[in-house]
Structure 1
Amino acid sequence: MVDTPKYGSSAIQAVTSLTGPHGPDYMVLTHVDDTADHQKWADRFAPHLQRIFHSGDLGPHNWLGDTTLEDVEILLEDASSLDELTVFSLNGTKRHVLDWATLTEPVIIHTPGHSPGSISLFHNAGASCKILFSGDTYAFSTRTNTMTGFPRYGHDRTLQAKTLEKLLDVNFTVVAPGHGHPRDYRGMDLQRRNEELLPALKELRNG
């Protein structure tokens, strides 16, 4: 599960219809803004459910004041640098990815900018389906009909722009954002994917 739907009986039914009664194995909390009801979900599916969160959104950046985020099952610590994105296995182990095209296991990528602790989930679903669950780091805006990084709401627009540039190396073919519409590049020339990144970069750099 990526981020948290509002907790309730209908949401529980929808989730368990996909996962079975034990619920999901993991809950990836992409940033502090989208963590509402995470404790309720954790309590409902304990001890099976493992929440994943990045420590960059704790302390002064935990504007919600939700101290229970400090107690998630998998708290990521290492941060991406200006030169390289930091990648983790789902169990929180830092790892090095040699080839995104042949990677078979889902991984977490620290994608800072929108918030210091923003993370994304990358899943190679086979064939040409390589999905980036991007939270608020990168999305398609129905208002402008372009890709966007939501610059009005971000923490560090310059850092986010650098993060987006590095994400091109991840070789994703589908963007599944926290807001806005998914963007599917399967069957397209990936040059189009790269070109569609430019408006988002311009937005972030110009504010």
Structure 2
Amino acid sequence: MSPSTSSNPPLIRDAALRLFAEPGGARASVRDIATAAGVSPALIIRHFGSMEGLREAVDAHVATQIGALLEHIASDPAGAIDPHSSASFADAATRLFGDDSPLPRYLLRSLVDGGDRGAALVELVTRSSVEAWQSMIDAGAVSPGPDPRARAALVAMIDLAALALREPLGSLLGADPLTGEGAERWTAEVARMLARTSPHGASAGSEHEGNPHD
């Protein structure tokens, strides 16, 4: 391996992310990560200072990736809930996560393991989700519902579930909820579900049974 490759901190970070995302990954050692990245343990310490420093770098990367997804949604509120739009959640998630991204598994592992690290990631997802939802309300793309705080909490829970429960949701849906056709179906159904309630809480009727943008 060339020096430029072996000394690449993102390569080490990504190898650590994949290990940490697996069951028992919290017990991975510096040597385990060095082996996975094809570098020496000393190089990891040189770049990150300690295992804790590496974990912080992984968390920062995960936070940046999730934040980028939700900022993408907020940048085009109407397009975010249109599964046929290049600005949709489905399209953004597909490009960000791909078929083999360890990020959703890492988020789930952080939730299961608990502690400050998991709590911080959940807080990030829920805060960013609520901010994106508010942008959609301000743009008139969605209704806040009769109880805006409860509606925002529901949307945050849906976003968190899509990210952290990717694999079980995929089994239930019959397709990956974060990529391709599965993401389009997931996004469209969430939009239909939220559109069925008017601002006053009454059923919006049959006009919302299809895609809200039809």
TM-score calculated relative to the size of structure 2? 0.29
Q: Which has the greater radius of gyration?
A: 2
The structure with the greater share of residues assigned to helix is 2
Q: Greater relative contact order: 1 or 2 (C-alpha under 8 angstroms, separation 6 or more)?
A: 2
TM-score by length of 1: 0.30
